[in-house]
């Protein structure tokens, strides 16, 4: 499996503002002066050595992830604004001439997980074939309401592609193709949400966004946590700091501290913290990443590896 992150923000899109951009630029230039950069030939190595929050932009698009199987088939998880640039990529291939097919899995229909769909170009091209999977029997109606004329000029049922809807039952595995299965698990989130687990061969990828895990829910989780065990890659909601999570109880999101605890308990090999709080700057996200690493070390654990989700990240399992 190849997993690529297309959108990693929570709640709403967050383009970088001029104030943050200028602060980041000032920090980079200060480091360049300290490093004594004297020629363009030195720039590449200098940038590569920058800390992640300066060398990259974590990204402002809302949730969207792609999974590519060994056979080369692509699966899309959620339709946040990250699906718009994905669609721009896809139209250069078979989807641009109405010969594409793709399966899309929806965790839930809060706006930040479906708001990119009306701007997904392959949806409008006749001949393209889409299958939507979700735990919601009325998913087509939900999409249609989002694109009512009051809010959007193109009705969902008038887009040119063919669409099918599959209702998934929690914990009931579905074989997508030979050697690749997916199942889902209900999560604590206002209005509901599900985690998806993809298994190909002996590799496991778990996509678990918009969920609220606390110390109390961890203790009551019991044997049901078997769904989450032994993931090679765990992409997990970590929107809040621990202090902030106390003030936003029942908002449906997890602190990065508890996310690390979950990953340790579930024996994940690699944890990727995602669904970033829109008010957090790249510098704040870098600080959270370092704190998460320190927390794991304080737990006297060598694993999981902990990464901060960034648009464009690619993982191969």
> What's the pLDDT tens digit per position in 83-129?
999 999 999 999 999 999 999 999 999 999 999 999 999 999 999 99
pLDDT tens-digit map of 14-31 = 999 999 999 999 999 999
Find out whether 271 and 4 touch, Cβ atoms under 8 Å: no
For residues 226 and 224, give the distance between their C-alpha atoms in angstroms, rounded to a whole number. Answer: 5
Q: Which two tokens stand for residue 307?
A: 């990464």
| HSE value, Cβ hemisphere, 13 Å, CA-based, for 43 | 4
Which CATH number applies to 2-14+57-316: 3.40.50.720, 3.60.15.10, 1.10.645.10, 3.40.50.1260? 3.60.15.10
Q: Domain ranges in the chain?
A: 2-14+57-316, 18-55
Find out whether 80 and 60 touch, Cβ atoms under 8 Å: no
Overall pTM > 0.75: yes
Kindly report the number of other CB atoms within 10 A of residue 264's CB atom. Answer: 17
Q: Which of 164-168, 171-175, 245-249, 282-286 has the lowest mean pLDDT?
A: 245-249
What DSSP assignment string belongs to 164-207? EEEEPPTT--EEEETTEEEEEEEE-STT-EEEEEEEETTEEEEE
């Amino acid at each position: 499996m190849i997993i690529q992150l297309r959108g990693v923000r929570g709640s709403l899109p967050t383009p970088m503002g001029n104030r943050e951009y200028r602060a980041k630029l000032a920090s980079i230039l200060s480091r360049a002066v300290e490093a004594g950069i004297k020629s363009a030939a030195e720039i590449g190595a200098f940038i590569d050595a920058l800390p992640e929050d300066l060398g990259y932009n974590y990204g402002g698009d809302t949730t969207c992830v792609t999974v590519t199987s060994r056979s080369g088939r692509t699966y899309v998880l959620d339709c946040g604004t990250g699906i718009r640039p994905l669609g721009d990529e896809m139209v250069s291939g078979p989807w641009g001439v109405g010969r594409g097919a793709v399966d899309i899995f929806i965790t839930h229909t809060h706006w930040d997980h479906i708001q990119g769909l009306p701007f997904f170009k392959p949806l409008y091209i006749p001949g393209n074939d889409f299958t939507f999977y979700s735990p919601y029997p009325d998913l087509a109606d939900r999409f249609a309401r989002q694109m009512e004329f009051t809010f959007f000029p193109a009705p969902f049922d008038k887009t040119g592609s063919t669409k099918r809807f599959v209702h998934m039952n929690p914990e009931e595995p579905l074989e997508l193709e030979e050697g690749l299965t997916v199942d889902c698990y209900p999560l604590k989130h206002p209005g509901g949400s599900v985690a998806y687990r993809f298994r190909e061969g002996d590799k496991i990828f778990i996509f678990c966004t918009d969920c609220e895990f606390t110390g109390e829910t961890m203790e009551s989780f019991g044997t049901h946590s078997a769904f989450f065990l032994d993931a090679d890659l765990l992409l997990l909601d970590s929107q809040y700091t621990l202090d902030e999570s106390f003030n936003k109880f029942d908002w449906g999101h997890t602190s990065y501290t508890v996310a690390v605890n979950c990953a340790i308990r579930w024996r994940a090999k690699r944890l990727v913290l995602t669904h970033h709080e829109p008010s957090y700057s790249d510098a704040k996200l870098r600080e959270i990443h370092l704190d998460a690493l320190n927390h794991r070390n304080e737990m006297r654990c060598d694993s999981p590896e902990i990464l901060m989700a960034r648009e464009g990240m690619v993982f191969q399992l």
